[in-house]
């Protein structure tokens, strides 16, 4: 089998320079990349850069090498087309089927998955014209990644930044792995909690846990690649923000609860992948707790934290909402998992066995997905992404019909 063929479309925004890094990641990971820049984008990055980095010619117009019929052939033979950055103008052309250069022709002839990574000023992104074009492209099955929030060209900050190239690369990798499967979470809003809460004792100490957040982030990345709008509530993680994801940072269980309850009313799916502390210190010492010579340490009194999963399961914010919990068990994994599924009242419970050397911080995981309808689906040891995909497969089977 040859290398997967990727077309990297580049339209005329300053973020075009970031596409060089995306190209490098694609080529270094074994993809055959053909760059198709728009004429405007060549003001930012020249043709020579694309040709040198990709090892392929980079043409803009349909009038070059006409005998090879590039305006049809490049799109037809691609396994993935990714446009990064996608300007407001390019999105408008794509939504309306215009074909006045090689990139827009390629978009019309491509039958593979198409990913757009828009980048523009906030006003342009929020303009109803752009939003309608994005909605049109999504309705037709394209994946349009939400821009990141942050510094824009000039002094502005806001939504409209191109996500980091390595995170756009992650989306491409996921989409290529899925092949031509339709983005089956399109139009859905999923809320995912990830990481581990920290319950402060004093200004420098906390009670915490060993959760890295990797499983929750894998859920967020795979959900983006399946077309979802994703809100990721991240408790004390040290991982890069995934492309297209709205990340809300929290510290304690109480803060996590607030963030989940705020996001849940609009969510089709809530996945509680975070390790939420069951207890917190009854008292927070405003100053650092000092040791005193000759005195035993004072015991730490704890109080219960709210159980967020049980609360959102009992009090569904929306009819048909699917709620997924996780259970980390060290003994009697299945029995404990089945009892926990009943106790928490969620639709799915992902049970895994944990221990010092298992699961925490690792890239792999193994689990059984228990369902309230009695099914028990084992997911063999493998990447956390594979478990994430298996969870989404189960979630999509439990949907009520899609919202209009
Ligand atoms: N969870 C939660 N709020 C808490 C504790 C846990 O929402 N205060 C969620 C976790 O995000 C996870 C699930 O509940 O999805 C299971 O958490 P776990 O701590 O394993 O379950 P517990 O009910 O605390 O059971 P036990 O500690 O007795 O194993």
- Centre of ligand 1 to C-alpha 273, Å, is 9
CATH number assigned to the domain comprising residue 156: 3.40.50.1950
Annotated ligand binding at 315? The verdict is no
Looking at 178, 202, 228, which one is the last position of a domain? 178
For residue 99, give its domain range: 5-178
Q: Which contacts (CB < 8 Å, 24+ apart) does range 246-255 have?
A: 246/146, 250/197, 251/197, 251/198, 251/200, 252/197, 252/198, 252/199, 252/200, 252/277, 252/280, 253/197, 253/199, 253/277, 253/280, 253/305, 253/306, 253/308, 254/280, 254/305, 254/306, 255/197
- Same domain, residue pair 160 and 90: yes
- Same domain, residue pair 280 and 154: no
Looking at 118, 149, 178, which one is the last position of a domain? 178
The predicted pLDDT at position 356 comes to 61
- Same domain, residue pair 168 and 215: no
The predicted pLDDT at position 360 comes to 63
Q: Return the residue whose CA atom lies nearest to atom 6 of ligand 1.
A: 276
- Same domain, residue pair 144 and 277: no
Q: Return the residue whose CA atom lies nearest to atom 14 of ligand 1.
A: 309
Domain count, the chain: 2
Annotated ligand binding at 79? The verdict is no
Looking at 134, 151, 178, which one is the last position of a domain? 178
The predicted pLDDT at position 154 comes to 81
Domain assignment present for residue 401? The answer is no
Domain assignment present for residue 276? The answer is yes
Domain assignment present for residue 377? The answer is yes
Domain assignment present for residue 183? The answer is no
Ligand 1 atom nearest residue 260's Cα: 7
Domain assignment present for residue 403? The answer is no
Domain assignment present for residue 155? The answer is yes
- Centre of ligand 1 to C-alpha 337, Å, is 11
Ligand 1 atom nearest residue 340's Cα: 23
Domain assignment present for residue 402? The answer is no
Domain assignment present for residue 184? The answer is no
- Same domain, residue pair 70 and 211: no
CATH number assigned to the domain comprising residue 256: 3.40.50.10300
> CA torsion sign, 193 to 379 to 169 to 225?
negative
- Same domain, residue pair 232 and 378: yes
The predicted pLDDT at position 391 comes to 98
- Same domain, residue pair 151 and 104: yes
Determine the Cα–Cα distance for residues 289 and 211; give it in Å rounded to an integer. Answer: 26
- Centre of ligand 1 to C-alpha 270, Å, is 14
List the catalytic residues. Answer: 209
Annotated ligand binding at 326? The verdict is yes
The predicted pLDDT at position 400 comes to 62
Determine the Cα–Cα distance for residues 398 and 404; give it in Å rounded to an integer. Answer: 18
Residues of the chain with pLDDT under 50: 403-404
The predicted pLDDT at position 367 comes to 94
- Same domain, residue pair 70 and 199: no
Enumerate residues lining ligand 1, CB below 6 A: 253, 272, 274, 276, 278, 305, 307-309, 325-328, 340
- Same domain, residue pair 101 and 210: no
Annotated ligand binding at 309? The verdict is yes
- Same domain, residue pair 199 and 171: no
- Same domain, residue pair 246 and 160: no
- Same domain, residue pair 171 and 209: no
**Quick one: which of 210, 199, 204 has its CA closest to 301?**
199
CB-CB neighbours of 24 under 10 Å? 15
Determine the Cα–Cα distance for residues 399 and 15; give it in Å rounded to an integer. Answer: 38
Ligand 1 atom nearest residue 349's Cα: 15
Residue 281, strand partner residues: 302
């Amino acid at each position: 089998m040859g290398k997967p063929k990727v077309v990297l479309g580049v339209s005329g925004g300053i973020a075009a320079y970031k596409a060089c890094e995306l190209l490098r990641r694609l080529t270094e990971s074994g993809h055959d990349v053909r760059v198709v820049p728009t004429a405007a984008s060549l003001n930012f990055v020249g043709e020579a850069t694309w040709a040198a980095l990709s090892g392929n010619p980079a043409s803009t117009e349909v009038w070059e090498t006409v005998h090879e019929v590039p305006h049809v052939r490049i799109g037809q033979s691609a396994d993935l087309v990714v446009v990064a950055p996608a300007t407001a103008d390019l999105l408008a052309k794509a939504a309306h089927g215009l074909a006045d250069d090689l990139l827009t022709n390629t978009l019309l002839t491509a039958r593979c998955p198409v990913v757009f990574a828009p980048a523009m000023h906030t006003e342009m992104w929020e303009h109803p014209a752009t939003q309608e074009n994005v909605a049109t492209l999504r309705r037709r099955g394209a994946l349009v990644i939400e821009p990141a929030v942050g510094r824009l060209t000039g002094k502005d900050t806001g939504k409209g930044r191109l996500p980091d190239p390595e995170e756009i690369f992650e989306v491409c990798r996921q989409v290529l792995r899925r092949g031509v499967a339709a983005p089956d979470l399109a139009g859905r809003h999923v809320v995912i909690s990830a990481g581990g809460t920290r319950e402060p004792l004093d200004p420098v100490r906390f009670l915490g846990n060993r959760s890295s957040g990797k499983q929750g982030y894998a859920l967020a990345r795979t959900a983006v690649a399946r077309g979802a709008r994703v809100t990721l509530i991240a408790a004390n993680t040290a991982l890069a923000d995934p492309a297209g994801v709205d990340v809300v940072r929290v510290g304690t269980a109480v803060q996590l609860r607030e963030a989940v309850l705020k996001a849940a009313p609009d969510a089709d799916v809530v996945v509680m992948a975070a390790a939420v502390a069951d207890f917190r210190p009854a008292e927070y010492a405003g100053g650092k707790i000092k040791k005193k010579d000759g005195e035993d340490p004072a015991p730490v009194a704890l109080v219960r934290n709210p159980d967020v999963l049980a609360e959102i399961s009992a009090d569904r914010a929306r009819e048909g909402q699917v709620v997924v919990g996780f259970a980390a068990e060290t003994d009697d994994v299945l029995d404990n998992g089945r009892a926990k599924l009943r106790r928490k009242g969620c639709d799915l419970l992902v049970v895994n066995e944990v221990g010092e050397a298992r699961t925490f911080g690792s890239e792999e995981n193994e689990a059984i997905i228990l369902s309230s309808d009695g099914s028990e689906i084992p997911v063999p040891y493998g990447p956390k992404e594979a478990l994430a995909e298996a969870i989404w497969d189960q979630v999509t089977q439990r949907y009520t019909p899609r919202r209009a």
